[in-house]
Structure 1
Amino acid sequence: MLNILIVDDEVIERKALTKIINGSLKDVTVIGEAPNGRKAIEMANEHRPDIIFMDIKMPGVDGVQAVKEIRKMDPGIRFIMVSAFNTFEYAKEVMQQGVKEYILKPSSKQDILEAVERVSSEILEERKQKEEQQSLRDNLERAVSIAQKEWVSSLLVNSVQDITFDEWGQLLGVEITSGYIMLLSLQPTGHAELSASDKQNWYQWLKEIQKVVVINEEMIIGPLTDSQVPVLFLCKKTAEKTNFKASAQAIIEKLYSLFQKESFPAVLRIGVGLLYNQAHELNQSYHEAVLALKQLLKTPNRKYIIGVKQGASPESVESGVLEVEKKLLEAVRQGDVNQVLYIFDTFVAKHADNKNVKTELVKKSFEELFILISRMLHDLGIDYERTPAIDEAEDSRVIFEKGKAHLLAVVHQVQVWRNNHAKGMLHKAKEYIEQHYANSITLESVAEFVELSPYYLSKLFKDRFGMTFIDYLTEIRIQHAKTAIVDHGKSLKEICYSVGYKDPNYFSRVFKKQTGLSPSEFRKATVSL
């Protein structure tokens, strides 16, 4: 509903305009009348109308002066100027204030209503654009937030393989062509451990400075674990010709420059994985960043290492362990106990092959594995927080046995979840989609409804139905659209909005892609049947 204020020093004119508008238009209403410019300014300040009918020639504060004052306090108010004087000077003066509508007294009913409809359409279109822009901003913020909270975590355990750089680009509103991982580590300067508040302050600082650090990349910050933070860099198309190492080095130098201005009781160390052109290879970049950081911590004088390829350094045995670790996590995620036992034996053998590995390093390796498993369980929506307690005095054999027992317990939990919950959750998700397909439905909103991780829900859809969440939603919407198109009483634009699309052109493209015909062609085909 749009509100209108009538301003005229002639009471008969005010009453006539009010009667015409209130009696002829449904979506607008006259909320007040003012006899002069001064009163108009007061009422505009109080009621904030959408449109003001403003007489130009009034005693005291005239219409032009009133427009100037009102626009100072609310530039969004639209004006329709009314005057008995058809002179260029009056028209020119109000046009300088951004006023586009100008009608003469006495005005016909048609002229008045057409002027209101033109201004109303302009206001509604502007509101629609603002809502769409806000929706885009909200979607972007939500996408980035989701990415920060879960996508990077999922990449670390290699549980997300279906998303492409094209899909990343759709989420972020830019064209993405490649990506890599940096692993940032906060190391204490003295013997004292870093406090939890130190780590959180550093993490918050990292979030705050991300916008000033990158130019040709999207910087997406992962979760803080202990004193390490993985950061995903997605490179835009404009950065294709930029040298990867030079770009990464520039980012690191900027990070160090900003870090040195703070007073953290620690030093910053950064391991960087290599650049990849396929999104599913980002997990490889992460493991390279892990290797780089481990090498870096053995050489305290270096601040960062870029691009340590697995198997290309003295860390080749460790690299093999990481590769087996990835396979082990995938087997656990699938709930495949035989594969878990087989791969775990390989995992143990990899450690045994390296005679120089001390017990404390084996312990550390297992602790890292348990952290990754915990993250994976969280992404699956499984509440299982227990981890085996490893005593400092225990030898490698005991650690291996405890690790195997823990893995078997985890696999059991995954199997229970898959058997008892996943099927029911998927059914619940499908019902929700079928009931809300006409709304602005998202993977995140459905996942929240069924209390699953968005990424696990996406994976379940692909595993169980052979299609992505978006494909399924599109299929439901197009099925309903095909049914509605048969009803020739509905316009194609109406049908577009009724099945959840906001852009008729986009709806038409999706419909044709799904059916082979445009909506209008499909409608014609139904007539001929």
Structure 2
Amino acid sequence: MPSILIADRDANERIGIGWLITSCAIPYDQAYAAATMAEVIECMESHRPDVLCLELDMIGRGEWETLKLLVEQYRPLVLVMTAEATFERAMQGIELNARDLWLKPQTPETIRRVLTRYCQERNDGKMVGCEAQGKAGGVDPVSYLELFFPKQKSSRPYPLLLAQLEDSNRHPELLRFLEAYPFREPPILLPLSDAIVGIFSVEDSDPLPHLQQVGKRLLRDWEATFDDPLSLVMYHSDTPLEDLNQTYIDASQALHIRFFKGYRQVSVVRNRIAWTMIDPFLSPSEQRSWIDMLHDGNKEELKQWMYRQFFYKEEPYPEPGLLRIRLTSILAQVRRYMKAHGLDHGKVEEGYHRVFETILYSPILYRIVQELLLFIYSLIDSVHHQKEEARVDLIELAIRYIEGRYTDPDLRLEDVARHVDRSPAYFSTLLSKRQGISFRQLLNNLRMKEAQRLLLETSLSVQEVAMRTGFVNPNYFSKIFKEKTGTTPRLLRNQKKV
């Protein structure tokens, strides 16, 4: 019977795998355990286990070459485990000629099934790991090595499934779902950091219709249990003599279709994606249009422009990277608008950087467009509010100027408008809108208020009061005074005496 070495820093993992071997009667003659690389090396040299179940995360920098030499010398069947679904970990497994890669945590059923298969294959001298799975399912032996490195041309193309969750941290859960899924012909599953690759056998001359049905059923069953948005690509190339590495490169391009369609979709792709090439930068006329739309503050016009430019409903789609550049070109015009109105600081500046990050990294186009539009709307509102405040400040400045000079009989509307740097017509309209009265009415109100004070608090003559409040003609002063107060200056003076 073969022997197995379980190497893991976590004592619970070592004990749990050992318990499974014993309780499920997996026929290993001896199960060894190691918690450190030093113990792994000692056990490998002393007992030469037939199967090595190894946690990749426990290998130190200076221990890697020693481990590779031991594996090469004693040639155990290697199973690697990791909690990090990264390309680096996958490459380490390839270097060790690992037959399988587990992403922690794994279900006891998966562990039992794989260790049983390893034990039987070691006894029988058959192929192991992904190679055995490939033959059983009708697929030629494949591994990460064929996926990432070119090799000799194959006699037929590889149909692929690429599964990708919006939250890549949930991929171990997706992998367990796929491993347990009742495929008619189970694919070889190769988990990566950004997706899970499934490699199918080829029986039909055109397998895509069948794969499309598989994808739809798979998506439906996933969504019946899980809330995480899933995107599936079913890829098949008609091109003959294509190796797995090139097929994977072409298929991975198809993952970017979610940029236009979003998640919760099955994309069926035949052959390499043919992206449409576009000029990613705004033309001079488009830049002028954007400047005009921003300064006009027409939100509906901005929205319709963005929808026409970026809401694609059918193929061929533009290359996603070029669209991201075009969106940053639009954001550059928004930046000019911010600077023109002094809004390139504080929370607005923070919002600008968030939108920039969204354009660069958000996986879905319509989310980018919505975030950009919402940011532009908030900018337009800020500028509108800023202008309203500026108008209020302008009127306050004008009133203070009038209060300091209302005794000047030559004070005119033109003088006040010039002081606030506006045209007389614009200032007159703005004053009427804000205060509800004309310039002349405002001026006379101030003069009458002061005249009443002088008449009641001083012994100045009516003529002197008129002069001090900006009236050259005492008769005109008396006329205006009666219109405003309902009495004459002399009667008001006499009331004081009474």
Normalising by the residue count of structure 1, what TM-score does the alignment of the two structures yield? 0.23
The structure with the largest alpha-carbon Rg is: 2
